[in-house]
Structure 1
Amino acid sequence: MWALNDQTILKESVDAYNKDHPDEKITLRLFAGDDYKQKLRVAFGANQAPDIFFSWGGGALDDYVKAGKVDTLTDAQVDLLRFTPSVLKSATFDGQVYGVPANGLAPVVLYYNKKVFKDAGVEAPKTYDDLLTDVKKLKGAGVTPISLAANSKWPTLMYLEYLLDREGGSDVFDGIASGNASGWKDASVTAANTRLQELAKAGAFGDNASSVSYDQGASTALLYTGKAGMELMGTWEYANLVKAAPDFVKKDLGYVAFPSLSGGKGDAKDIVGNPSNFLSLNSKSKNKSAALTYFKNYVLNDSQVDAYLAAGSVPPVNKLDSKLAAVKSADDKKWLTFVYDLVQNSPNFQLSWDQALSSDQADPLLTNVDKSFLRQIKPEEFGTNMSKAAQ
């Protein structure tokens, strides 16, 4: 089995399986995220891929599925019905499931600093117009309205993902992801880029966003030190904030869903992000029975669910209400319930575009997102450029 080196709770499931199956142990290899995708591609190309492999679902997994390298999974084999349906979508192709969710839900939410908001006289935005109003007031109060690690590019993509969903609805990107290159020229794609540039022009992200990268924790620090009012980020940021600034989490951390958009076709309950990561089965594996036993009985079983909840992460399984009610920390319970309800009530959970699209589109996507953010291209040029990249 191959996975990423930050998957410590997932590793515990392997340890538990190995303890119970000393004659059919799983050998787990862990990799850094930047290297993993390339190593997996090379391994499959050389017919040396692992029996079980970790992925983000979406386009990259579908590439392997189309090449006949991944086995389908059924409810009878791995008890699929226990998982959140909107999450399974990212590992479902042509009606067949090719991966089991293996870790916590990671929708993207809007975090805010309650003290900064109070001092500036603003409230958490419910609509896009509210967001623009908050940006102007926070800027006037001398703080960066929204912390953004634009140097890393993928945090900027989160805005475009939400803005397109709110503008045109989930069908627009679903069409693009299914191979319709002309979908990039849809009017809602241009409108989403127009709004992204509108936010940048209004000073929403300050003057130095392009010099801020995410991995060093700089954008996170701007929020909890009060130098920024908001930050749009995945739910993993909660754990980062608890670790870096526990007092801030207890006193001043707020969070809401991304604002709705008046006149847009999208459902305000739609969310974007990483529904989960997945474990899939190599179609050439000689250990399929053992792998399926691991999937069914050890991946996100009761003890795994408890471990993820204790780490501030909501696993993508149904009927969590009683476990959430038993969480001792009031702050954690409020947070976990917020995330759980967000996902359970969402009609659509869109996988991040750079994961949903095939690997040959991911780099042009991030390049053009950055160009749009910097206003180096016109809003309509984004769609034109991406349409060419998708052909």
Structure 2
Amino acid sequence: MKRRDLLGLSVGAGAAAALAACGSSGPSNGGGGNTAGAATYWGLSGPPSEPLRRAAIDRFNAANPDTRIDALYFQNDAYKQKIKTSLGAGEGPSMVFNWGGGGLKTYVEAGQVDDLTDWFAQNAAVKDKIIPASFGAATVNGKIYARPVESMSPIVLFYNKKLFDQIGAQPPQTYGEILDLVPKFNAKGIAPFSLAGQSRWTNMMWVEFLLDRTAGSEVFDRVFAGEANAWSDPAVLNTLTKIQDLVRADGFIKGFSSITADSNADQALLYTGKAAMLLHGSWSYGIQKATGGDFVPSGALGYMNFPPVDGGKGDSSNVVGNPGLYLSISSKATDAQKDVAKKFFSTTLAEDAEFASWVGAGYVPVLKGTDAQFAAAPNADFIKFVSGTVSQAKVFAQSWDQALSPTAAENLLDNIAKLFQLQVSPQQWVDSMNGVIGK
């Protein structure tokens, strides 16, 4: 299967935002607590997304008194561990929240989720409302195994305008200008970049963008296709060297390897003026608005797509991130639970209140023809930026840890963490990653 077929990366419609690396200390109950016979849902916790998810389920339960969905919410990293072990033990929720791609493919191969192709054929009105590009990561071997929900989430370069004014600088238009800014911010006691390095996937964003801008999307396409030694491309060594050069130049906040994304501490460093820039998912806008006081309302938050690398071959319009969030149906669910899940699939995002709530929080729902409705949104400028960035992108590449199999993804994240901590050389990184291609 070609990566383009799997991920639907050539995008021609507006979309954006929501992975929510969230902030509760553990699972939180959504009300109802495992009612007998109810369909069950596990989702991600923390503002601004969790309240929107809760409200959607509450509306469904109120409108369908003879059925029920019971929900639990987990932090991002905790959820990824919990869902893997629970599905393996046959004890997962009725509705399986996921990111599509390689993780979903693993669920499919293990027989853990249902084929929804016929359901979508019978419910064409539901499918026709959803942006086609979001179905790529929901598709395995030509069949659909997940319902795209919520929104797409490209990775965005955020910056603190006040700190740029403080050193008399403009936002970087090339990677070379990023490197020029590093010593200038350090001289003022400001970290050039915030980074939640302990969470690993945040580090991955840097490798994804730098490789794309240096060599284009073709290198990772070959990795995804299972081509032997695909990581040995010289552009990979070039990219990894750039990363370690940036670490050695104090490009990132000191102690970044002990900062977690689930705590949102990396975002707090940006809006409190401790760091000048942050490479993060577009969902960060909503988190910063919810937790950053007047930082966002005052207009101090800037945002842009990652700039081109000097002399690089990659198209500077390309984006990386997640082309959607997804809900699948557990093959272990009862028939009654599956019926409830499918009814929910027919209504989620279709209600005006839910659509408006996602737009109001700074997200672009995974629906067609919604651009006109952004103009009156309280976050109109950011939503238009995200919509325009995605619609103009030549390639919207799915995050590597979601595109690859869980085995390859874990090795990837482990090696990326070691790369940033200067514990492996670029060549050692390449050798290790070549060893798990296709696994």
Give the alignment's TM-score, normalised by structure 1.
0.90
Q: CA deviation at 1:50?
A: 3.7
Q: 2:123 corresponds to which letter in structure 1?
A: Q
Q: CA deviation at 1:48?
A: 4.2
Mapped pair 1:347 → 2:386? no
Q: Hey, what's the Cα distance between the residues in 2 that align with 1:375 and 1:361?
A: 21
Larger proportion of helix: 1
Q: Find the residue that maps to 1:389 and give its secondary structure.
A: coil
CA 1:301–1:161: 2 relative to 1, 3 Å: farther
Aligned to 2:41: 2
Q: 2:42 corresponds to which letter in structure 1?
A: A
Q: Hey, what's the Cα distance between the residues in 1 that align with 2:414 and 2:199?
A: 11
CA 1:377–1:100: 2 relative to 1, 3 Å: same
Mapped pair 1:298 → 2:342? no
Q: Hey, what's the Cα distance between the residues in 2 that align with 1:379 and 1:306?
A: 46
Q: Hey, what's the Cα distance between the residues in 2 that align with 1:62 and 1:129?
A: 38
CA 1:381–1:335: 2 relative to 1, 3 Å: same
CA 1:24–1:377: 2 relative to 1, 3 Å: same
Q: Hey, what's the Cα distance between the residues in 2 that align with 1:183 and 1:313?
A: 35
Q: Hey, what's the Cα distance between the residues in 2 that align with 1:113 and 1:27?
A: 40
In the alignment, structure 2 segments of 5+ residues that lack a partner are: 1-39
Q: 2:232 corresponds to which letter in structure 1?
A: K
Q: Hey, what's the Cα distance between the residues in 1 that align with 2:434 and 2:352?
A: 45
Aligned to 1:253: 301
Q: Hey, what's the Cα distance between the residues in 1 that align with 2:122 and 2:308?
A: 39
Q: Hey, what's the Cα distance between the residues in 1 that align with 2:82 and 2:137?
A: 22
For residues 162-199 of structure 1, the C-alpha deviation after alignment (integer angstroms, 9 at most, x for no partner) is 11121222232233234335222222222221221222
Q: Hey, what's the Cα distance between the residues in 2 that align with 1:325 and 1:208?
A: 41
Q: Find the residue that maps to 1:325 and give its secondary structure.
A: coil
Mapped pair 1:71 → 2:130? no
Structure 1 counterpart of 2:366, from 284, 302, 316:
316
CA 1:325–1:381: 2 relative to 1, 3 Å: same
CA 1:27–1:227: 2 relative to 1, 3 Å: closer
CA 1:2–1:175: 2 relative to 1, 3 Å: farther
Give the alignment's TM-score, normalised by structure 2.
0.81
Mapped pair 1:129 → 2:168? no
Mapped pair 1:325 → 2:375? yes
For residues 354-387 of structure 1, the C-alpha deviation after alignment (integer angstroms, 9 at most, x for no partner) is 2222222233222211221233322222111111
Figure out how many residues of one structure are paired with residues of the other and give that number: 388
Q: Hey, what's the Cα distance between the residues in 1 that align with 2:249 and 2:44?
A: 40
CA 1:37–1:234: 2 relative to 1, 3 Å: closer
Mapped pair 1:23 → 2:66? yes
CA 1:77–1:186: 2 relative to 1, 3 Å: farther
Mapped pair 1:189 → 2:236? yes
Q: Hey, what's the Cα distance between the residues in 1 that align with 2:416 and 2:197?
A: 10
Q: CA deviation at 1:254?
A: 0.8
Q: Find the residue that maps to 2:386 and give its secondary structure.
A: helix
Aligned to 1:278: 326
Aligned to 1:165: 212
CA 1:314–1:22: 2 relative to 1, 3 Å: same
Q: Hey, what's the Cα distance between the residues in 1 that align with 2:332 and 2:259?
A: 44
Q: CA deviation at 1:123?
A: 0.9
Aligned to 2:20: none
Structure 1 counterpart of 2:432, from 360, 385, 390:
385
Mapped pair 1:229 → 2:276? yes
CA 1:45–1:211: 2 relative to 1, 3 Å: closer
CA 1:34–1:203: 2 relative to 1, 3 Å: closer
Q: Structure 1 stretch 250-259 or stretch 287-296: which is displaced more?
A: 287-296
Q: Structure 1 stretch 105-114 or stretch 11-20: which is displaced more?
A: 11-20
Aligned to 1:54: 97
CA 1:38–1:379: 2 relative to 1, 3 Å: closer
CA 1:50–1:251: 2 relative to 1, 3 Å: closer
